[in-house]
A and B are shown apart, each in its own frame.
Chain A
Amino acid sequence: MITSWISTLGKFFIMLGRAFSKPESFKEYNKAFWRDLDHLGVDSLGIVTIISVFVGAVVTIQTAYNLNDPLIPDYYIAIATRESIILEFSPTIVSLILAGKVGSNIAGTLGSMRVTEQIDALEVMGVNPYSYLILPKIIALVFFNPILISLSMFLGIVGGYVAASFGVVAPQDFIQGLQIEFNSYYVVYALMKTVVFAFLIVSVSAYYGFFVKGGAIEVGINSTKAVVSSSVAIIVANYLLTQLLLV
């Protein structure tokens, strides 16, 4: 059990070591980067938008419901909504959702390339499959995840505002609340987390894709494992980073 853990970790870091090596052709890696940016990052805009708006709305309504006390001013609802969206919902929960979407995509793609010998074909050509297949994905998501998450923060608050304006909180109170005690370091902290999460999603999922043995069934199994493991990695990293950066 422990030795298998150590050997898994060893394989993981060897994979990463090989992934961060010099590209054979910057032009081809650049092409791969834009391709990956497109279907790992840009393609996630839709789901992130929908989820952020609705969760922002729900957070506002629930906060309002719980703070339903004449002694607490209404703008506290906006403060609470803002903090929970910026600190946890957008960076962590949205990253978890992306771990499902992007992680299974990466593990599935690399896994099927492995079982159909496409990865071997790259290797025989002299292309380093680790770096060609993994590096552009890491760079793409590490670059795009903070953008996605910033958008999610903004849309979450917009969702909250819309829900508030249906009679939960007066719009001017909500706007006022958003501006009170705003600590911009929270945004920095959240975006630092998302960079780490993006790296975890790609590297963990790539690991599960790369080392599939067998056929279509194993590719499916490993895609699931990729999602589970990258989610766990995100949760643990979230705890560690919060200790490190906030406390």
Chain B
Amino acid sequence: MIEVNNIKKSFGSTEVIKGISANFKPGETSLIIGSSGAGKTVFLKALVGLHNIDSGEIVYDDRQLGKMDEDERTALRTEMGMVFQGNALFDSLTIEENVSFALNMFSDMSEEEKRDRANFCLKRVNLNNVGHQFPAELSGGMQKRVAIARAISMNPKYLFCDEPNSGLDPKTAIVIDNLLQEITQEFNITTVINTHDMNSVIEIGDSIILIKDGLKAWQGTGDDILTTTNDDITDFVYSSELFKRIRRNT
């Protein structure tokens, strides 16, 4: 469980996160939605400690992020997996080396076990026979999937994904969504996903938070979202004609 209490984050004089509280539970996929520039990425990076927050607190299963020493922080981070919005693959390493990077650093697996684990993770994101290639040789969507494989390689306890299925075709996007939901339930992972994708929201959103102008504008489940009368949600979700029609029919 991750507890977020009233966190704030500014860059210079612009306040991007203006006081957000939330709880993320294990075994649930928690989705964060919001329009471009709303502060989703900043929120996620604050959550993992890449941005130092100005005030508030973030607690990982009774461990407060701001009060950890170097070793405790490292220990916590080996329990995390993260997919960045821009993939952030190590471009001087092959795909297999990318996926097994954390295993090399932190596990005492044999070379063969590590290779097997890397290939297993790559298979789960529908990638085969790309292990020896470099990130620059893959398409954007393939890179995204490598990033997901890398994030799950250590069997994380906490998984953070910044738009994991942007840039993917609808079919692969569903494969990724299902994968994320599956491993979340199977390994009781606390999963937080930033997304724009309304399909994901409805398919895998156990709990959903809408961020607007740096504040939490709405919170609910995937079912709630279709019935709520909250203006911010209807504004955001039903900006597309398709969803307006679906709503009229439910």
Tell me the A residues contacting B by CB distance below 8 Å: 21, 24-25, 27-28, 113, 116-118, 120-121, 123-128
Q: Smallest CB–CB gap between B86 and chain A, Å? A: 6
Q: Is the CB of B78 within 8 A of A125?
A: yes
Residue of A28, A118, A128 touching B89 (CB-CB under 8 A)? A118
Residue of B74, B88, B105 touching A121 (CB-CB under 8 A)? B88
Q: Smallest CB–CB gap between A54 and chain B, Å? A: 33
Q: Is the CB of A25 within 8 A of B104?
A: yes
Q: Is the CB of B86 within 8 A of A116?
A: yes
Q: Is the CB of B50 within 8 A of A24?
A: no
Interface size classification for chain B? 20 to 34
Q: Is the CB of B86 within 8 A of A126?
A: no
For A120, the chain B residues whose CB sits under 8 A away are 45, 50, 84, 88
Taken together as a complex, chains A and B put the C-alpha atoms of A120 and B49 apart, in Å, by 10
For A27, the chain B residues whose CB sits under 8 A away are 104
Most buried by B among A27, A113, A120, A124: A124
For B76, the chain A residues whose CB sits under 8 A away are 126
The proximity string for B residues 69-86 relative to A, scoring 1 for CB distances below 8 Å and 0 otherwise, is 010011111101010101
Taken together as a complex, chains A and B put the C-alpha atoms of A113 and B90 apart, in Å, by 8
Residue of chain A at shortest CB distance from B76: A126
Among B91-110, those with CB < 8 Å from A are 91, 101-102, 104-106
Q: Smallest CB–CB gap between A22 and chain B, Å? A: 10
Q: A28-B104, A118-B90, A126-B77 are in contact. List 9 more A-B contacts (CB 8 A).
A: A25-B106, A120-B45, A121-B84, A124-B77, A124-B80, A125-B78, A126-B74, A126-B78, A128-B74
Residue of chain B at shortest CB distance from A27: B104
Whether, in the assembled complex, B48 has its beta carbon less than 8 Å from a beta carbon of chain A, the answer is yes
Q: Is the CB of B91 within 8 A of A116?
A: yes
Tell me the B residues contacting A by CB distance below 8 Å: 45, 48, 50, 70, 73-78, 80, 82, 84, 86, 88-91, 101-102, 104-106
Q: Smallest CB–CB gap between B201 and chain A, Å? A: 25
Residue of chain A at shortest CB distance from B98: A121
For A116, the chain B residues whose CB sits under 8 A away are 86, 88, 91
Residue of chain B at shortest CB distance from A112: B91
For A127, the chain B residues whose CB sits under 8 A away are 102, 105
Taken together as a complex, chains A and B put the C-alpha atoms of A125 and B79 apart, in Å, by 8
Q: Is the CB of A125 within 8 A of B105?
A: yes
The 7 closest A-B pairs by CB, nearest first: A126-B77, A117-B88, A121-B88, A126-B78, A124-B82, A126-B74, A25-B105
Q: Is the CB of B50 within 8 A of A123?
A: yes
Q: Is the CB of A28 within 8 A of B84?
A: no
For A113, the chain B residues whose CB sits under 8 A away are 90
For B90, the chain A residues whose CB sits under 8 A away are 113, 118, 121
- 8 of the cross-chain contacts (CB-CB < 8 Å) are A116-B86, A117-B88, A121-B82, A121-B90, A125-B78, A126-B76, A126-B77, A126-B80
Q: Is the CB of B102 within 8 A of A125?
A: yes
For B105, the chain A residues whose CB sits under 8 A away are 24-25, 28, 125-127
Taken together as a complex, chains A and B put the C-alpha atoms of A154 and B86 apart, in Å, by 49
For B74, the chain A residues whose CB sits under 8 A away are 24, 126, 128
For A28, the chain B residues whose CB sits under 8 A away are 104-105
Residue of chain B at shortest CB distance from A18: B70
For B86, the chain A residues whose CB sits under 8 A away are 116-117
Q: Smallest CB–CB gap between B213 and chain A, Å? A: 24
Q: Is the CB of A125 within 8 A of B84?
A: no
Taken together as a complex, chains A and B put the C-alpha atoms of A131 and B84 apart, in Å, by 22
Residue of chain A at shortest CB distance from B93: A118
Q: Is the CB of A124 within 8 A of B48?
A: yes
Q: Is the CB of B91 within 8 A of A124?
A: no
Q: Is the CB of A126 within 8 A of B106?
A: yes
Q: Smallest CB–CB gap between A111 and chain B, Å? A: 13
Q: Is the CB of A124 within 8 A of B106?
A: no
For B91, the chain A residues whose CB sits under 8 A away are 116, 118
Taken together as a complex, chains A and B put the C-alpha atoms of A113 and B89 apart, in Å, by 9
